[in-house]
């Protein structure tokens, strides 16, 4: 059952959908600040976790351990080089 989303979750989901590319939580945080929609980094992580549990955000973890978040689109698999972190669909 889906609960009501917070304003932070809505902002992050809208940003991910509009950019149409995967971003780290840190990059999302910086982009939100640029757009005068700043929130704390911990809030960004909490919102991403909630959206992930809701199935609205996909997460891909690079070899470096960094997680990249994107809005749910078609199910697409990526190959990621463990040496340079470059990904190809």
- Please state, in angstroms and rounded to a whole number, the distance separating the CA atoms of residues 35 and 29: 10
pLDDT over 90 at 29, yes or no:
yes
pTM: 0.76
Full set of structural domains in the chain with CATH = 7-88 (1.10.10.10)
- Please state, in angstroms and rounded to a whole number, the distance separating the CA atoms of residues 58 and 7: 19
Task: Calculate the alpha carbon distances from 68 to 3, 26, 80 in Å.
Answer: 24, 10, 12
- The tens digit of pLDDT for each residue in 31-73 reads 999 999 889 999 999 999 999 999 899 998 888 899 999 988 7
């Amino acid at each position: 059952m889906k609960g009501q989303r917070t304003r932070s979750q809505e902002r992050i989901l809208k940003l991910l959908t509009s950019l149409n590319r995967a971003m780290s939580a840190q990059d999302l945080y910086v982009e939100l600040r640029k757009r005068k929609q700043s929130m704390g980094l911990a809030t960004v992580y909490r919102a991403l976790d909630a959206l992930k549990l809701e199935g609205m955000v996909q997460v891909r973890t690079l070899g470096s351990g960094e997680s990249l978040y994107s809005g749910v689109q078609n199910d697409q698999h990526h190959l990621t080089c463990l040496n340079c972190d470059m990904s190809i669909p």
